Structure 1
């Protein structure tokens, strides 16, 4: 319920980065759940297919973190890395109950959903189109003559000029 609520809200109300993040979460969760329903061995720590899915999630959030102007993908990427670490280290700790392992994975998944939810809630309803798109390349392309409605980045020239007139007669004369 939480997954569908957060991802549904991000798809309806979020900008492009939030929608991409929602799709990443939905796809990974649905594929992993389907695999685990088909065969119970996918619950095992460091299962290669599930590890590949988690690696794809981490790669997706890494791309979002470097390609967007949003901050929440950095957090989601960090939680995805913690999920990968838990997945890889799980088999090396032989006495860890499966319940504890799966709970650890679930906690990081909920934290990533929390980052997505906060990112969606922080986006103002009246956000301009460039902010809704949220991609760094949109900000850069505006200076190259595109008809984008993105704000121009600050000039690299020193636009500060000092206008001083000096009275030749001197002060008080």
Structure 2
């Protein structure tokens, strides 16, 4: 078995472990983050298994998947009360910058390019893992939902009940 297969299997094991942990332990944002990571990783992996040209820097379909990942984490970061999606968005953005840099600098070795992408993928998984790990075991429904709207509604209700109790 070649080293590339060992690295791919290791990444997939980490991906599925972190995604499963986030699904079980985390709330709605962590489940969305796990789905983003798993879907993008398997879509990219499937493309690369089908045709080796998808390993090239800035290959259109893979670049499109990376753009969708960055947009998805941005959307999640602005919609949730969690902090980890901001980090995941930053790592996805760094991934895009590295892809563009590899396109503009054709002398970059393929190994260096893919090593950088792997580093950002592991960092995004680390952010997801920390986000799921920080979820308290007895979290209420609003905290598990993670929505800014639900949180603001809860705060408004709490303020309203405090005003009524002070009267």
The answer to whether the superposition gives a TM-score over 0.5 is yes
Instruction: Please show how residues 94-173 of structure 1 align to structure 2 within 5 Å.
Output: 94-140=106-152, 142=153, 150-152=154-156, 155=159
Q: CA deviation at 1:139?
A: 2.4
TM-score, structure 1 as length reference: 0.82
* Correspondence 1:67 to 2:79: yes
Gaps of 5+ in 2: 1-12
Which structure has the highest helix share of the two? 2
Question: What is the alpha-carbon distance in structure 1 between the residues aligned to residue 52 and residue 157 of structure 2?
Answer: 53
* Correspondence 1:40 to 2:52: yes
Question: What is the alpha-carbon distance in structure 2 between the residues aligned to residue 86 and residue 153 of structure 1?
Answer: 46
- The CA deviation string for residues 150-171 of structure 1, in whole angstroms up to 9 with x for no partner, is 3436759xx7xxxxxxxxxxxx
Confirm or deny: 8 A CA contact 2:66 2:92 kept in the other structure.
Answer: yes
Q: CA deviation at 1:92?
A: 1.5
Question: What is the alpha-carbon distance in structure 1 between the residues aligned to residue 130 and residue 157 of structure 2?
Answer: 26
TM-score, structure 2 as length reference: 0.85
Higher relative contact order (CA 8 A, sep 6+): 2
Question: What is the alpha-carbon distance in structure 2 between the residues aligned to residue 11 and residue 120 of structure 1?
Answer: 8
Q: CA deviation at 1:109?
A: 0.4
Q: 1:153 to 1:73 in 2, by over 3 A?
A: farther
Q: 1:153 to 1:79 in 2, by over 3 A?
A: farther
SS at 2:66 equivalent:
helix
